[in-house]
Amino acid sequence: MNWKTGVNYLVLFGLCFLGGRFVASERTERTSGEKRGELAILIDDFGYCGEGTKEMLDLPIPFTAAVMPFSKCTEADAEAVRQAGKEIFIHMPMESLTGKREWVGDKGVFRDMTEAEIKARAEEAFSILPDAAGLNNHMGSAIMEDERSLSAVMDVLQEKNVMFVDSMTTAKSLGRSIAGQKGVTFLGRDVFLDSTDSVEEVKKNLRKAAEVALEKGYALAIGHVGPEGGMVTVQAIKELIPELKQAGITFVTVSELAK
């Protein structure tokens, strides 16, 4: 090999080396610039032995199960949640502005209760579900707009050092402001997933939640077992897990999201 050939090899090697460095650098920048987000799914209405309970708990992702504290299947469903390694929340029945009183149940939180009675009701819920990491409202538009009633609930959460999730059943909710006053960790729902019999509609809502998470870094979506979601919601989540993970979504519990 003469000296000219040697120089040509060196030039070619140098160009390949620099090109490789450029490609690697570009790939690193692209990877580090990809959006990522955490998505917490809160599944309401455990405690009724509702459709999809077992299948939901079998999903291979972390999520939080909101259990009705005063229902016929409260203990059975709560134990199933624990055995599945999922996080427990209290799904607290609260008075609605539009729904019938009996829809809330005998042991809900109502505006005609004294503050002491409301606190005792919340304490009773925690005595039934002592390992609950937090509480969210079942229905509850009337209570979420009533400062006195909601403050009494928040006092109990403050004492127990657990968080509150606002299901956002009213646009006039005082949840964030009162939680802030009481020093209670607060998260608000970003997307409702179900209340539909269409798997594709739930998928659409899941993708919307993922978009929110990728945009701001996190999102909280609420779905259901039983007639409001059940197997429709289970199927949609199960089928979409790979897609959302590929898009940069990490599934977490609600309390993990709050951290």
Q: Is the pLDDT score of 166 beyond 70?
A: yes
What pLDDT shows up at residue 33? 56
Averaged pLDDT, 175-184: 98
Q: What pLDDT, on a 0 to 100 scale, did the predictor assign at position 9?
A: 42
Q: pLDDT at position 100, please?
A: 82
Q: How far apart are CA 209 and CA 127, in angstroms?
A: 33
Question: Which is higher by pLDDT, 105 or 174?
Answer: 174
Residue 21 has pLDDT above 70, yes or no: no
Percent of the chain with pLDDT over 90: 83
Which pLDDT value is given to residue 26? 35
Looking at per-residue pLDDT, the higher value among 12 and 91 belongs to 91
Residue 4: pLDDT over 80: no
Is 60 exceeded by the pLDDT of residue 101?
A: yes
More confident residue, 25 or 246: 246
pTM: 0.86
Identity of the highest mean pLDDT range in 26-30, 45-49, 105-109: 45-49
